[in-house]
A and B are shown apart, each in its own frame.
Chain A
Amino acid sequence: QVKLVDSGGDVVQPGRSLRLSCGATGFILNDHAMHWVRQTPGKGLEWLTVMSFDGNRKEYADSVKGRFTISRDTSTNTLYLQMNGLTTDDTGVYYCARALVGYSLDLWGRGSRVTVSS
């Protein structure tokens, strides 16, 4: 079965770090560009970052540039999002997603909930 299983969501204090994971089954991560998107009450759906299929290109939204890092482990077929310097504005549900073509995202994980609170 083709799916993405995201995990790692938690409650953390402002300024702390968290790493989200996204395990891919039924397909090879290297064959697709992969994205992270979050959904917050204040901003709705917000695109965060993309890694190209070959891993050579990574792009970030201005809101997370310098704080978040996308990466992958091809041996385990897992995508990651390392989040540093978290603020309350980062509270939301984080989705990993596979690109069909360009930025059209045809497969989504179920989402990981991140709450940043003191």
Chain B
Amino acid sequence: EVVLTQSPATLSLSPGERATLSCRASQNIYISLAWYQQTPGRAPRLLISDASNRATGVPARFSGSGSGTDFTLTINSLEPEDFAIYYCQQRGTFGQGTTVEVK
């Protein structure tokens, strides 16, 4: 079973800054990785599928990269609504999440 490790656990940034989130897989998962955003009281929202494909309606400031075991979600120029928890997922496994909070 694949284990996904996200880092850091918490990222403290200011609006306008760039966020770089990491997700490391315990084995080669090729590009089979999705990223989600979750805000309090709401369901997760798909941001990225297949490591780098932005989902419909997702702003261009969100980008995904990586393959194999190392993946990155980048948020360019944080907007107020981007402060949330971000999860990576590979098939039936989710990472533990990274919280992006206001510094």
Contacts and interface: CB of A to CB of B under 8 A. Distances in A.
B50 interface: yes
Contacts of B93: 47
B46 interface: yes
Contacts of B10: none
A92 interface: no
A68 interface: no
Interface residues of B, number: 21
A46 B1 CA distance: 14
A27 interface: no
Interface string B29-40: 000101010000
A45 interface: yes
Contact of A104 (B34, B43, B94, B97): B34
Given A45-B94, A108-B43, 12 more contacts: A44-B87, A44-B94, A47-B92, A47-B93, A100-B55, A102-B91, A103-B32, A103-B34, A105-B46, A105-B89, A110-B43, A111-B43
Interface of A: 37, 44-47, 59, 61, 95, 97, 100-106, 108-111
